[in-house]
Homo-oligomer: A and B are copies of this chain.
Amino acid sequence: MGNYDVKQEVTDKYSLRGRVFHKIREDILSGKYKEHEELKEVAIGEELGVSRTPVREAFRQLELEGLIQIIPNKGAYVTGITVKDVKDIYMIRSLLEGLCARWATENITEEQLEEMEENVYLAEFHASKGHLEQIAELDNRFHDIMYEACNSKMLQHSLRDYHEYVLRVRKKTLSDANRGEASNHEHRLIMEAIKAKDAARAEELANRHMINAYENMVKNGLEEAYKQQESSEEEKAK
């Protein structure tokens, strides 16, 4: 239950307010709650040791994110995430990460660029040592730096949403060491394009970066990670 103290920053950011929200979200994305399953306020509240009030607030947020659907006076039902959803997200992200890279080229600060360079070097180091955990962490951070650098609150918001959405899938695919190195190399190219102020190239590279990530994911069994929707067909029959 209390697996939220792994990273201190994240803990502080989410503890108390939003802890319930992120826990339920995690449980949906991890497949604990299956598609079309009904979520009861009291049951989840008891499981997390809180009353219905915070649970209800979390439900409202989850509905807005599209993870559950709330039917008034009836209940909250898990929407789930299908293979097609993941594919769509990567296509959408491909476009938006491209736009982000373009804007980042125009707006990035010296500090951000330096952190990006450091990130790339560090990632290559950890890749050579086989430190998978750090690679995933640095990959997260690389994209986050770019989201900040693009200087657009709106774009940043959308990309963060999508990024989190597929976080579980990403963690799985980045565990593949080959893709990890390829991904790092793509990060380097993007970074260099940004540094050279070549916005068009940065956009094109970021575009490809997403497509590559997606194609690799398909190759490495995206279906398996999300076979939950098959088993939910029985659920639907009820």
Stretch of A3-11, A147-155, A169-177 contacting B (4+ beta carbons < 8 Å): A147-155
Number of copies: 2
Does A72 touch B at the CB level, under 8 Å? yes
Give the CA-CA distance A162 to B58 in the complex, in Å. Answer: 22
Tell me whether B66 and A64 are in contact (CB under 8 A).
no
User: Would you give the shortest CB distance from A162 to chain B, in whole angstroms?
Assistant: 8
Q: Which B residues lie within 8 Å of A16 (CB)? A: 72
Q: In this complex, which of A56, A64, A96 has the most chain B Cβ atoms within 10 angstroms of its Cβ?
A: A64
Does A89 touch B at the CB level, under 8 Å? yes
Tell me whether A66 and B157 are in contact (CB under 8 A).
yes
Does A137 touch B at the CB level, under 8 Å? no
CB contact between A153 and one of B53, B66, B96, B155 (< 8 Å): that residue: B66
Give the CA-CA distance A89 to B157 in the complex, in Å. Answer: 11
| Interface size band for A | 20 to 34
Q: Which B residues lie within 8 Å of A66 (CB)? A: 153-154, 157
Tell me whether B57 and A92 are in contact (CB under 8 A).
no
User: Would you give the shortest CB distance from A12 to chain B, in whole angstroms?
Assistant: 10
Give the CA-CA distance A102 to B91 in the complex, in Å. Answer: 12
Tell me whether B61 and A154 are in contact (CB under 8 A).
no
Q: Which B residues lie within 8 Å of A152 (CB)? A: 84, 88
CB contact between A64 and one of B53, B61, B99 (< 8 Å): that residue: B61
Tell me whether A153 and B85 are in contact (CB under 8 A).
yes
Contact bitstring A197-211, B, C-beta under 8 A = 1, else 0? 000000000000000
Does A158 touch B at the CB level, under 8 Å? yes
Tell me whether B154 and A92 are in contact (CB under 8 A).
yes
CB contact between A155 and one of B17, B64, B88 (< 8 Å): that residue: B88
10 tightest Cβ-Cβ pairs between the two chains A and B: A95-B95, A88-B154, A17-B72, A88-B152, A57-B60, A61-B64, A66-B157, A60-B61, A64-B64, A85-B154
Q: A58-B60, A85-B154 are in contact. List 14 more A-B contacts (CB 8 A).
A: A16-B72, A17-B72, A57-B57, A60-B60, A61-B61, A61-B64, A64-B65, A88-B152, A88-B153, A88-B155, A89-B154, A95-B95, A95-B96, A96-B96
